[in-house]
């Protein structure tokens, strides 16, 4: 097969971190001469970037893999790669389960894809899951969007939430230097991107592993410092960041967000449970009172700020009363968006072997009750947008109605309005909100925002 006909396909599961890794791996493959194929069946290299946060995420991967493994029997030159968190968790075992695989590589190895593939093309079956220092990215990611871009600022997680696989699969915290981050943002800005999202599993931990940090935890480079440091890159109009951890969230950060015009008024601060006993058994390191104080402080500084979060129901031993404390927190705070999940026992995590596991029935019943409340609250939150003028950054066409474009408000609400994507993509526009739903808005354009003239 000649180089020019080599085509690749990547399917990405899981969180924004995985999406960012996939974009970098796609960049590496394109550097190597591969071309993107939307259809996996037309590709000679297929990469699954996998997620293992819950059992159903992991099982999905196996069903996809099974199909391609079969195909390999008729097409032996097909290269099959499993990257990401399932790869890290299962390692060698994946090769035994799916012997057709060529490469199993953990998330810390994403930037090494070219090296690893070279070993595959030399005739080896490769497993790369040992902890490594993450190489600074030297390739150009192939970003999915032309408007908004992810920027990793810290890899890994040093927390030990008792339900969570992430520290096990993503390894210890590794912050990138402020200089490397700014350089990447400057490149992104020159390419015409308008919005960046700084990424970390626990982004508030940013910088604590960088030289200059002190054992007491005082450090020169905090997320707040980073926001000030990168804020003025010309061309970037909006800055977001995720995921925040209530344990480390500071008022100084909130003040910076209020002060810095490009930082959007949207905060993703998972609380996981509204009950102090459950929070303690999750090892989250805060109480629901502290969580409420954080949100109040955010709203003191930015009354209109959008708040989103993650929550888990049915943690081992969670009583009906403790679950109701989660409902109470959700009712009191009024989230703009809440990602909810039934607790899923994960291999290697402490809570997975505790005795008091709840039945699937109880978990799914609680999940339904929570989701019902979330939708009501989100619809209430959406009401405040009605009739308002909002700034929207146009990202794409509305996939369900091609006469409309799709963008987001600064608060991250999806907004649709009539318009031609070829003209509007990447534009910051003022729109008037004409219809509100729980998780999205409809609007009409009222003119081009001032900011566009920059």
Residues that bind ligand SAH (CB under 6 A): 53-54, 163-164, 166, 201-202, 243, 245, 270, 272, 310, 312, 341, 343-344, 346
Q: Collapse the DSSP code of 148 into the 3-class scheme (helix H, G, I; strand E, B; otherwise coil) and give the result.
A: strand
**What residues contact 240, with CB distance under 8 A and at least 6 apart?**
195, 196, 197, 198, 263, 264, 266, 412
Complex with ligand F3S: residue 168 or 317, whichever CB lies closer? 168
Complex with ligand SAH: residue 111 or 244, whichever CB lies closer? 244
| Residue 51 binds which of ligand SF4, ligand F3S, ligand SAH, none (CB < 5-8 A, kind-dependent) | ligand F3S
231/415 Cα distance (integer angstroms) = 25
| Residue 167 binds which of ligand F3S, ligand SF4, ligand SAH, none (CB < 5-8 A, kind-dependent) | ligand SF4
| Residue 29 binds which of ligand SAH, ligand SF4, ligand F3S, none (CB < 5-8 A, kind-dependent) | none
| Contacting range for ligand F3S; rule: CB under 6 A; set: 10-18, 122-130, 334-342, 389-397 | 10-18
The least CB distance from residue 393 to ligand F3S, in Å, is 25
Complex with ligand SF4: residue 311 or 333, whichever CB lies closer? 311
Complex with ligand F3S: residue 317 or 350, whichever CB lies closer? 350
Q: Does 201 bind ligand SF4 (CB under 6 A)?
A: yes
**By rule CB under 6 A, what string of x and - marks binding of each residue 142-181 to ligand F3S?**
-----------------------xx--xx-----------
The least CB distance from residue 232 to ligand SF4, in Å, is 30
The least CB distance from residue 13 to ligand F3S, in Å, is 7
Q: Does 85 bind ligand F3S (CB under 6 A)?
A: yes
Complex with ligand SF4: residue 127 or 203, whichever CB lies closer? 203
The CA dihedral of 96, 99, 102, 105, to the nearest 10 degrees, is -30
Strands 7-12, 389-398: pairing is: unpaired
| Residue 169 binds which of ligand SF4, ligand F3S, ligand SAH, none (CB < 5-8 A, kind-dependent) | ligand F3S
Q: Token pair for residue 450?
A: 């001032």
| Residue 148 binds which of ligand SF4, ligand F3S, ligand SAH, none (CB < 5-8 A, kind-dependent) | none
Identify how many contiguous H helices and E strands the chain contains and give both numbers. 14, 19
Residue labelled with tokens 């979060």: 309
Total residues interacting with ligand F3S, rule: CB under 6 A: 13
User: CA angle 239-176-256, nearest 5°?
Assistant: 35
CA 182 to each of CA 176, 232, 291: distance values in angstroms, whole numbers, following the listed order: 10, 10, 31
Show the beta-strand stretches assigned E in 143-224.
148-152, 154-155, 174-175, 195-199
Q: Token pair for residue 71?
A: 């195909």
User: CA angle 269-271-273, nearest 5°?
Assistant: 165
| Contacting range for ligand F3S; rule: CB under 6 A; set: 15-23, 122-130, 285-293, 405-413 | 15-23
Complex with ligand SF4: residue 167 or 407, whichever CB lies closer? 167
Provide φ and ψ at 230, rounded to 5°: -100, -5
192/198 Cα distance (integer angstroms) = 17
Contacts 24+ apart (CB under 8 A), 275-278: 275/318, 275/321, 275/322, 275/323, 275/325, 275/326, 277/322, 278/315, 278/317, 278/318, 278/322, 278/325
Complex with ligand F3S: residue 13 or 34, whichever CB lies closer? 13
| Residue 52 binds which of ligand SF4, ligand F3S, ligand SAH, none (CB < 5-8 A, kind-dependent) | ligand F3S
What is the footprint of ligand SF4 within residues 145-174 (CB under 6 A)? 157, 159, 161, 164, 166-167
45/97 Cα distance (integer angstroms) = 20
Residue 104: which of 81, 122, 70 has the closest Cα? 81
Q: Token pair for residue 336?
A: 């703009």
Q: Which of 208, 245, 363, 425 binds ligand SF4 (CB under 6 A)?
A: 245
| Residue 85 binds which of ligand SF4, ligand SAH, ligand F3S, none (CB < 5-8 A, kind-dependent) | ligand F3S
Alpha carbon 14 to chain centroid, angstroms: 8
Complex with ligand SAH: residue 111 or 243, whichever CB lies closer? 243
Residue 17: which of 241, 194, 204 has the closest Cα? 241
Q: Give the number of C-alpha atoms closer than 13 A to the C-alpha of residue 126, restricted to the C-beta side.
A: 24
Complex with ligand SAH: residue 28 or 338, whichever CB lies closer? 338
Complex with ligand SF4: residue 268 or 363, whichever CB lies closer? 268
Interface residues with ligand SF4 (CB under 6 A)? 157, 159, 161, 164, 166-167, 201-202, 245
Interface residues with ligand F3S (CB under 6 A)? 14-15, 17-18, 51-53, 84-85, 165-166, 169-170
């Amino acid at each position: 097969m000649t180089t020019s006909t080599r085509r690749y396909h990547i399917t990405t599961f899981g969180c924004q971190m995985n999406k960012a890794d996939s974009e970098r791996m796609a960049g590496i493959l394109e550097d190597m001469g591969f071309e993107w194929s939307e259809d996996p069946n037309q590709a000679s290299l297929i990469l699954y970037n996998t997620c293992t946060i819950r059992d159903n995420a992991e099982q999905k991967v196996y069903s996809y893999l099974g199909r391609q493994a079969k195909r390999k029997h008729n097409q032996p030159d097909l290269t099959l790669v499993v990257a990401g968190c399932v790869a890290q968790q299962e390692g060698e075992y994946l090769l035994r389960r799916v012997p057709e695989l060529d490469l199993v590589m953990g998330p810390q190895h994403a930037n090494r894809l070219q090296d690893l593939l070279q070993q595959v093309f030399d005739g080896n079956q490769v497993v790369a899951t040992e902890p490594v220092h993450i190489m600074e990215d030297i390739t150009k990611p192939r970003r999915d969007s032309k408007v908004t871009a992810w920027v990793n600022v810290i890899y890994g997680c040093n927390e030990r939430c008792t339900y969570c696989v992430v520290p096990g699969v993503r390894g210890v915290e590794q912050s990138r230097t402020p200089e490397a981050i700014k350089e990447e943002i400057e490149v992104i800005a020159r390419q015409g991107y308008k919005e960046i999202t700084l990424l970390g599993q626990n982004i508030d931990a940013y910088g604590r592993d960088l030289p200059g940090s002190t054992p007491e935890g005082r450090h020169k480079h905090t997320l707040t410092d980073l926001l000030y440091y990168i804020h003025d890159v010309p061309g970037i109009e909006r800055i977001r960041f995720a995921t925040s951890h209530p344990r480390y969230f500071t008022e100084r950060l909130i003040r910076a967000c209020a002060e810095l015009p490009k930082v959007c008024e949207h905060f993703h601060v998972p609380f996981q449970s509204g009950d102090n006993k459950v929070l303690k058994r999750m090892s989250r390191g805060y109480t629901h009172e502290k969580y409420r104080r954080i949100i109040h402080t955010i709203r003191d500084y930015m009354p209109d700020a959008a708040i989103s979060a993650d929550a888990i129901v049915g943690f081992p031993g969670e009583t009906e009363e403790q679950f109701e404390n989660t409902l109470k927190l959700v009712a009191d705070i009024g989230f703009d968006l809440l990602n909810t999940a039934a607790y899923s026992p994960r291999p290697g995590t402490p809570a997975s072997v505790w005795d008091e596991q709840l039945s699937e029935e109880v978990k799914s019943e609680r999940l339904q009750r929570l989701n019902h409340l979330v939708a009501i609250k989100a619809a209430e939150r959406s009401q405040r947008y009605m009739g308002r003028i909002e700034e929207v950054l146009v990202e794409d066409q509305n996939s369900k109605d091609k006469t409309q474009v799709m963008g987001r408000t600064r608060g991250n609400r999806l907004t649709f309005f009539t318009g031609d994507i070829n003209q509007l993509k990447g534009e910051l526009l003022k729109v008037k909100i004409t219809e509100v739903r729980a998780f999205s808005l409809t609007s009409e354009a009222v003119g081009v925002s001032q900011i566009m003239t920059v």
